[in-house]
Amino acid sequence: MTAVADRSLGPDLALVDSLSPATDVLVIGVVIGEDGPTLAAGSDDAFVTGAIGADVLATVLENLRAVGAKGKSEELTRIPAPAGLSGVTSVLAVGLGSTEKINAEQVRRSAGVAARSLAGVRRAVSTLSLLATGPAAEGFFLGAYSFTAFKSGKSAPKPDEQPVARVELLVADPGNETADAEFRHAREVAEAVALARDFVNTPPSHLYPAEFADRAKALAEAAGLQVEVFDEKALAAGGYGGIIGVGKGSSRPPRLIRLTHVGGAKKVALVGKGITFDTGGISIKPAANMQDMTSDMGGAAAVIAATIAAAKLGLPLTVTATVPMAENMPSATAQRPGDVLTQYGGTTIEVINTDAEGRLVLADAIVRACEDDPDYLIDVATLTGAQLVALGTRTPGVMGTEEFRDRVAEISRKVGENGWAMPLPAELRADINSKVADLANVSPHRFGGMLVAGLYLKEFVAEGVQWAHLDVAGPAYNTGSPFGYVPKGGTGVPVRTLISVLDDISAE
């Protein structure tokens, strides 16, 4: 069993007001100046001058200019520490770009780039926290993330390749209640993102529906959540036809898990797609890049991690995650194109394409979630290839009831996860009518595929519930090179959006 629950998810983080003699690397944020890089506003005040020394800072900036540093966004320049920095081996300058463009996300991204470059470092101290404490903490934690659970002794990282062990964030008053609360919140958020990444990065050979449910259960119970797990017999008896139908082709049967944080009268339902591997079923996918379908449970991972974080943060609302888990495989027992199944709640579905399976498991879960009479419902899924065609690999599509959809999309952009509001055009609804059942699971054409999937899910959302649907097919899994605080592989999107939305609802 791979250690999702018990491994260290990131570096040790701490707030400090001075450099430790044992500091290996001093990380400073710099911006573009007229004559080369200058310290970012907020980093060159009397506190930093006192902590590091005015003469030392002047020497550092002079040396950075000498080696051609500019201060451009996320530019990294590492130089030997001047003599005045006792015990410090080197100084790492990370660019923040133009002063007028610095915001929380830029601090987060710059911290992430810096963290990734600190492999083999035992202790680093940074001034980025003086610009934005929470984002700096998130960036360093998430930028240092690595997933090596399946590396044997032959390929395991050597000591000088290990992620930075400890990052100390300079603040003028580490005991300040506001700064400390921001730091602790950021740490919980970052740990939740890292947990979601671990789930996504764990291969399907080791994370199948029953195992996924067991791990989620153990983590949730440790956080004090109420947990309910439905096995394949309970699902069949309960009429969860979508989850059963999708899971029929696999020797590893499906699950449905419900996690509840009871914190207040206001109720939020979260639903996440948990397809632990998606071959497409009988409508099988092309072989090229199919291995990336280990990420098709990214929605479930995000929802589970966010619900656990809600409990750890003690949010004053009740959050219930309803998470369907199945493996979509072709076999003699798999559902076929042309089959009809009955979703939980009684709606009959003509399955035209077995690769449009995510909406089938989500529909069951949405109906069940709505039986709790939530005030808000958010579902998250790596749902359609059409999302990537429409919005690319880094921009989630956000659909749903207009007011809540726009609120979620705005919050997503604010935290750097880039959600973009998309419509649910009424004229596309007729395209999912079926000749033999209540609905078909796909339309007969390729136009607006992300929106058609959203319209399908809309059919199962109870009247009066404020609803948002996030399609994160691209953003949940990075197949390219690392960037900012985002690694290759599982990204953890949209965990930070979910937690920020829950925070926002808590403040109502």
pLDDT in tens, 297-308: 999 999 999 999
CA distances (Å), origin 159, targets 248, 257, 482: 46, 39, 21
CA 464 to centroid of chain Cα atoms: 28
Strands (E), 329-368: 340-342, 348-350
Helical ranges in 296-340 per DSSP H? 298-313
> What's the whole-number mean pLDDT along residues 115-142?
96
- Which of 70, 108, 109, 359 does the annotation list as catalytic? 359
User: Prior bond to 494 cis, omega within 30?
Assistant: yes
Give the per-residue pLDDT at 2. 39
Give the per-residue pLDDT at 51. 77
> What's the whole-number mean pLDDT along residues 206-226?
98
> What's the whole-number mean pLDDT along residues 130-159?
91
Give the per-residue pLDDT at 475. 98
Say which residues have a Cβ less than 8 Å from residue 93's Cβ, sequence separation at least 6: 27, 28, 29, 30, 37, 60, 64, 69, 71, 75, 76, 77, 78, 79
SS3 156: coil
405 in active site: no
**What tokens does 361 get?**
């498991």
User: Mind listing the pLDDT tens digit for each residue in 170-208?
Assistant: 998 888 898 899 999 999 999 999 999 999 999 999 999
Neighbours of 87 (CB within 10 A): 12
**What tokens does 495 get?**
């965990």
- Which of 122, 184, 266, 285 does the annotation list as catalytic? 285
CB-based contact 4:67 (threshold 8 Å): no
Domains, the chain, in order of start with CATH, read 12-189 (3.40.220.10), 207-506 (3.40.630.10)
Helical ranges in 371-462 per DSSP H? 385-391, 402-414, 449-458
Give the per-residue pLDDT at 19. 87
**What tokens does 344 get?**
């939980």
Going by C-alpha positions, the residue among 361, 378, 362, 368 that lies closest to residue 317 is 378
Going by C-alpha positions, the residue among 350, 341, 412, 351 that lies closest to residue 380 is 412
**What tokens does 171 get?**
């603040």
Residue 3 has pLDDT above 50, yes or no: no
CB-based contact 46:115 (threshold 8 Å): no
Rounded Cα–Cα distance for residues 438 and 132 (Å): 52
User: Mind listing the pLDDT tens digit for each residue in 409-459?
Assistant: 999 999 999 999 999 999 999 999 999 999 999 999 999 999 999 999 999
CA distances (Å), origin 164, targets 11, 180, 335: 6, 22, 48
407 in active site: no
> What's the whole-number mean pLDDT along residues 95-122?
96
Residue 45 pLDDT level (bands cut at 50, 70, 90): low
Out of 34-43, 102-111, 118-127, 400-409, least confident range: 34-43
User: Mind listing the pLDDT tens digit for each residue in 304-334?
Assistant: 999 999 999 999 999 999 999 999 999 999 9
- The single-letter DSSP state of residue 128 is G
Residue 147 has pLDDT above 90, yes or no: yes
Residue 4 has pLDDT above 60, yes or no: no
Going by C-alpha positions, the residue among 278, 271, 262, 345 that lies closest to residue 304 is 271
CB-based contact 28:19 (threshold 8 Å): no
User: Mind listing the pLDDT tens digit for each residue in 370-419?
Assistant: 999 999 999 999 999 999 999 999 999 999 999 999 999 999 999 999 99
CB burial of residue 255 (10 Å; 0-12, 13-18, 19+):
buried
